[in-house]
Amino acid sequence: MRKVVIDPIARIEGHLRAEVEVDKNGVVQEAYVSGQLFRGIEIILKGRDPRDAGLLAGRICGVCTNSHFRGAVSCVEDAYALKIPKNAEIVRDLMAMALFIQDHVVHFYHLHSLDFVDVTSALNANPKLTSKEAHKYSKNPFRNSNTHYEEVLAKLQNFVKAGKLGPFSNGYWGHVDYKLTPEQNLIVISHYLEALKFQTKISKAVAIFGGKTPHPQSIVVGGVTSVADMLNPQRLNDYLFIIKEAKEFIDRAYLPDMKLITSAYKAEIKAGAGRANGNFLSVGGYEFEGEQRLFCNGVIYAHDFENIEEFDETKVTEEIDRAWYSGDAKENEVCYTDLNADGSLKTAKNDDKYSWVKAPRYDGKPMETGPLARVLVSYAKDNTLIKSFVDEFLQETELELIDLSTTVGRNCARAIETSYICEYIFKLVSRLIQNIKYYDTDTWVRFDFNTLEKDAKGRAFLEVPRGVLSHFVNIKNQKIDNFSVIAPTTWNATPKNFDGVRGAYEEALVGIKIEDTSKPLEVLRVLHSFDPCLACAVHIIDTKGKELSRYRIKTL
CA 513 from chain center: how many Å? 25
- The DSSP string of 482-541 is EEEEE-HHHHHT----TT----HHHHHHTT-B-S-TTS-HHHHHHHHTT--BHHHHS---
Which among 140, 46, 44, 19 is positioned nearest to 520, based on CA atoms?
19
CB 214 → Ni ion: shortest distance, Å? 10
Q: By CB under 5 A, which span of 54-62, 200-208, 209-217, 410-418 interacts with Ni ion?
A: 54-62
Beta sheet of 28-35, edge-to-edge order: 28-35, 16-22, 2-7, 552-555
Strands (E), 266-326: 280-285, 295-300, 316-319, 325-326
| Residue 188 or 533 having the CB closest to Ni ion | 533
| Residue 393 or 530 having the CB closest to Ni ion | 530
Rg of the chain in Å (alpha carbons): 23
| Residue 17 or 381 having the CB closest to Ni ion | 17
| Residue 35 or 298 having the CB closest to Ni ion | 35
CB 255 → Ni ion: shortest distance, Å? 25
Number of residues that bind Ni ion (CB under 5 A): 6
Residues of this chain, 217-246, that bind Ni ion according to CB under 5 A: none
Q: By CB under 5 A, which span of 4-12, 53-61, 110-118, 394-402 interacts with Ni ion?
A: 53-61
Q: Is 200 helix (H, G, I), strand (E, B) or coil?
A: helix
| Residue 131 or 490 having the CB closest to Ni ion | 490
| Residue 63 or 480 having the CB closest to Ni ion | 63
Q: By CB under 5 A, which span of 2-10, 245-253, 407-415, 536-544 interacts with Ni ion?
A: 536-544
> Rounded to an integer, what distance in angstroms lies between the CA atom of residue 79 and that of residue 180?
52
CB 414 → Ni ion: shortest distance, Å? 15
CB 67 → Ni ion: shortest distance, Å? 7
CB 535 → Ni ion: shortest distance, Å? 5
CB 537 → Ni ion: shortest distance, Å? 8
| Residue 96 or 428 having the CB closest to Ni ion | 96
468 CB-side CA count, 13 A:
30
CB 58 → Ni ion: shortest distance, Å? 11
| Residue 277 or 489 having the CB closest to Ni ion | 489
| Residue 415 or 533 having the CB closest to Ni ion | 533
Is the torsion defined by CA of 476, 479, 484, 485 positive or negative? positive
16 forms part of the interface with Ni ion (CB under 5 A): no
Please, are residues 532 and 33 in contact by the beta-carbon 8 Å criterion? no
Q: By CB under 5 A, which span of 215-223, 322-330, 424-432, 534-542 interacts with Ni ion?
A: 534-542
How far CA 370 is from CA of 258, 271, 337, 404, 492, in Å, comes to 17, 22, 31, 13, 9
Please report, as a single letter, which amino acid is at residue 88. Answer: A
536 forms part of the interface with Ni ion (CB under 5 A): yes
CB 65 → Ni ion: shortest distance, Å? 8
In this structure, how many other beta carbons lie within 10 angstroms of the beta carbon of residue 411? 30
CB 484 → Ni ion: shortest distance, Å? 16
Q: By CB under 5 A, which span of 107-115, 205-213, 369-377, 526-534 interacts with Ni ion?
A: 526-534
Q: By CB under 5 A, which span of 230-238, 241-249, 288-296, 532-540 interacts with Ni ion?
A: 532-540
Pairing of strands 325-326, 333-334: antiparallel
| Residue 22 or 535 having the CB closest to Ni ion | 535
- The DSSP string of 310-321 is PP-GGGEEEE-T
Contacts of 162-170 spanning 24+ positions with Cβ under 8 A: 165/119, 167/110, 168/114, 168/119, 170/10
CB 61 → Ni ion: shortest distance, Å? 3
Is the torsion defined by CA of 376, 283, 535, 415 positive or negative? positive
Residues of this chain, 136-155, that bind Ni ion according to CB under 5 A: none
| Residue 13 or 268 having the CB closest to Ni ion | 13
CB 70 → Ni ion: shortest distance, Å? 13
Which among 248, 307, 310, 302 is positioned nearest to 284, based on CA atoms?
310
Please report, as a single letter, which amino acid is at residue 366. Answer: P
Please, are residues 358 and 271 in contact by the beta-carbon 8 Å criterion? no
533 forms part of the interface with Ni ion (CB under 5 A): yes
CB 13 → Ni ion: shortest distance, Å? 5
Name every residue whose Cβ is closer than 8 Å to that of residue 545 and which is 6 or more positions away in sequence.
none
Please, are residues 284 and 463 in contact by the beta-carbon 8 Å criterion? yes
| Residue 256 or 360 having the CB closest to Ni ion | 360
| Residue 353 or 528 having the CB closest to Ni ion | 528
Residues of this chain, 56-95, that bind Ni ion according to CB under 5 A: 61, 63-64
CB 6 → Ni ion: shortest distance, Å? 20
Q: By CB under 5 A, which span of 314-322, 358-366, 437-445, 525-533 interacts with Ni ion?
A: 525-533
> Rounded to an integer, what distance in angstroms lies between the CA atom of residue 380 and that of residue 323?
34
Name every residue whose Cβ is closer than 8 Å to that of residue 488 and which is 6 or more positions away in sequence.
369, 370, 464, 466, 467, 468, 469, 533, 536
| Residue 63 or 269 having the CB closest to Ni ion | 63
Q: Which string of x and - marks every residue 392-431 that binds Ni ion (by CB under 5 A)?
A: ----------------------------------------
CB 532 → Ni ion: shortest distance, Å? 9
> Rounded to an integer, what distance in angstroms lies between the CA atom of residue 407 and that of residue 272?
8
19 φ, ψ (degrees, to nearest 5): -125, 120
273 forms part of the interface with Ni ion (CB under 5 A): no
Which among 300, 318, 323, 319 is positioned nearest to 310, based on CA atoms?
300
> Can you give the binding site for Ni ion, defined by CB under 5 A?
61, 63-64, 533, 535-536
